Amino acid sequence: MNSGLGASVPSAVAVGLVVLATVLIGAYGQRLSRTTGDFLVASRMVGPTWNAAAISGEYLSAASFLGVAALIVQFGADALWYPIGFTAGYLALLLFVAAPLRRSGAYTVPDFAQIRWGSLRLRRLATVVVLVIVWLYLVPQLHGAGLLLQYLVGVPRWVGVVGVALVVTASVVAGGMRSITFVQAFQYWLKLSAVAVPVVVMIALLRGDAFSALDTPWAAPGLGFGGGAALPEVYSVVIATFLGTMGLPHVLVRFYTNSGGGAARRTTVQVITLLVVFYFCTVLLGLISRSAGADPAGGDLVILGVPARALDGSAATAGTVLAAMIAAGAVAAFLSASSGLLVAAAGVISTDVLPGRVRDFRVAAVLGVLVPVAVALGAGGTDIVRVVGMAFGLAASTFCPLLVLGIWWRGVTVAGAAAGMLCGGGLALGAVTAGIVLGDRAGRWSWLLEQPAVISVPVAFAVMIGVSLATRRTVRPEVDAVLARLHLPGTLHHR
């Protein structure tokens, strides 16, 4: 990492304006936040249009903004599976989870587990899984923010980690979900502008040279991600991203803010549209970057240097301005994703560990950020999108089977739900841990340790079904009433 390599006054000003806008919009939302419901689920008063922009804003993390384009630069057509999986996951969410989950009346995933199964132990297990996923997702956001600010303005990496953590924590503590909704909706449109405008301008100035990489072997599919098992690794990435989306706590918690099941469905459809537009621009940015000669091994921040590389001479000023826009979008990505993750962590800590009052939510937000900050400060260099992929894999191996089977099959028992989550989550975390410990010694199996979803997800479903069948006598008599509440529009329930 070249400290300060990309430093420029426009980039520094752009980053400062994004932080200032985040603080001001968060302060505006604070005026409307009074009750526990405001802090947890914005009192379930968020309309589909606002909610879709907010969900897209928090979902499009740095892994999407910088990481997807960087992976396309490195791996070409095979990396397209990442944005396809990220977007298609909302189709599964729309078909199987969104409306029933909203009708459950839950505030959090552990809340849903208790409503569906009436088990305090299962609720506590779900709480632990939520925190592990959130922290696994939050660490690369903070780590990446430190690297970005080091790259842009030359400050030590820890300054970026701590600075972003302070801004995000202050926003969450001040106004909770209601405040963060405004911030994230604004940041989606900012991020879309920050990637779309540079793409349009560079295509207009470079003309045919912007797509010259399409004529190289890089554009041919089937080479995988460099792990030595191209097709199986691609399958594992698709499973993790497609099924993991419906299990991400910070995504699910936003659906609790809708007014009802129908609004949750309309929100999901709009989210898919917004993501398609964004990822289309991101893919083009990766293509232009490769055509401009970006270093395939340059990591996630390689995109920041593309405008200056592609536009020189009389267009150098335009390149500087476009670089500043991309930098602003990257900072917005770190802030919005981190905000949503911290709200999700604070929600489960305040309701499952603390009494659940407004004050407890604020205390929980502070507690929730300490662990990922400590880990991020000690983290080394890594690709953001691949670390985030671990969180997707864990979510796909735990909450995906819990929600799909829990909503659509009355036969899931407490023992089956717990066993499925423990086996799926244990395999996912165990594989990642083994990969870190073994490093290059994993040899040809390194791809499986890095992307274990192709094994851990089917095992989670199979164990959940098998143990439930073996303990079928423990199915609660109330389960039919609970499922009717989830599936019948006439039983819309507001808490």
Residue 295 has a CB neighbour count (10 Å cut-off) of 13
Q: How far is CA 469 from the centre of its chain?
A: 34
Nearest to 253 by CA among 371, 91, 92, 104: 104
The domain 9-33+42-381: what is its CATH number?
1.20.1730.10
Write the DSSP symbol of residue 314.
Answer: G
- What percentage of the chain reaches a pLDDT higher than 70? 94
How far is Cα 24 from Cα 351, in angstroms, rounded to an integer?
A: 28
Residue 495, both tokens: 């808490």
130, 335, 395, 448, 462 from 456: Cα distances, Å:
17, 31, 11, 10, 10
pLDDT of residue 438: 80
Distance between CA 32 and CA 42 in Å, rounded? 9
Residues 6 or more apart whose CB falls under 8 angstroms from that of 161 comprise: 142, 143, 145, 146, 373, 376, 377
**What are the backbone angles phi and psi of residue 8, rounded to the nearest 5°?**
-160, 155
Q: What is the pLDDT of residue 1?
A: 41
pLDDT band with cut points at 50, 70 and 90 for residue 63: confident
What letter represents residue 111's amino acid? D
Can you give the pLDDT at residue 3? 42
What integer pLDDT is reported at residue 490 of this predicted model? 56
Q: Tell me what pLDDT residue 435 has.
A: 79
Which of 47-56, 80-89, 267-276, 308-317 is the least confident region? 308-317
d(CA 100, CA 476): 19
pLDDT of residue 2: 42
Q: How far apart are CA 469 and CA 410, in angstroms?
A: 11
Contacts of 422 (CB under 8 A, 6+ apart): 125
Question: Does the pLDDT of residue 25 top 90, yes or no?
Answer: no
- pLDDT band of 495, cuts 50, 70, 90: very low
Predicted pLDDT of residue 380: 61
Q: Check: CB of residue 149 under 8 Å from CB of residue 15.
A: yes
* pLDDT computed for residue 162 by the predictor: 92
Mean pLDDT on 15-26: 86
Q: Select the more confidently predicted residue: 61 or 169.
A: 169
Question: Does pLDDT of 4 surpass 70?
Answer: no
What mean pLDDT value characterizes the chain? 86
CA–CA distance, 171 with 180 (Å, rounded to integer):
7
Q: How large is the greatest C-alpha to C-alpha distance in the chain, in angstroms?
A: 76
* CA 492 to each of CA 168, 208, 270, 407: distance values in angstroms, whole numbers, following the listed order: 34, 54, 22, 15
What is the pLDDT averaged over residues 260-284?
Answer: 90
Assessment of whether the complete model's pTM goes beyond 0.85: yes
Q: Which amino acid is it at 433?
A: T
In percent, how much of the chain has pLDDT > 90?
A: 31
Residue 5 is predicted with a pLDDT of 45
pLDDT digits (tens, 9 = 90+) for 422-468: 999 999 999 988 877 887 777 777 888 888 999 999 999 999 999 99
Average pLDDT over residues 212-220: 87
C-beta of residue 308 within 8 angstroms of C-beta of residue 151: no
pLDDT tens digits for range 477-487: 889 999 998 88
Q: What is the pLDDT of residues 141-188, one digit of tens each?
A: 888 888 888 888 788 889 989 988 998 898 888 877 878 888 889 989
Amino acid at 260: G
* Nearest residue to 417 (alpha-carbon basis) of 125, 45, 165, 8: 125
- What would the DSSP string read from start to end of 381-419? ---HHHHHHHHHHHHHHHHHHHHHHHHH-TT--HHHHHH
Both tokens assigned to 92:
């599964």
Between the alpha carbon of residue 164 and those of residues 60, 158, 333, 335, 442, the distances in Å are: 17, 10, 11, 7, 35
**For the chain, domain boundaries:** 9-33+42-381
Average pLDDT (220-249) is 83
CA–CA gap between residue 349 and residue 346 (Å, rounded): 5
Residue pLDDT, tens place only, 102-129:
888 887 889 899 999 999 999 999 999 9
Please give the angle made by the CA atoms of 198, 201 and 202, to the nearest 5 degrees. Answer: 80
Residue of 276, 170, 236, 280 whose CA lies nearest to 435: 236
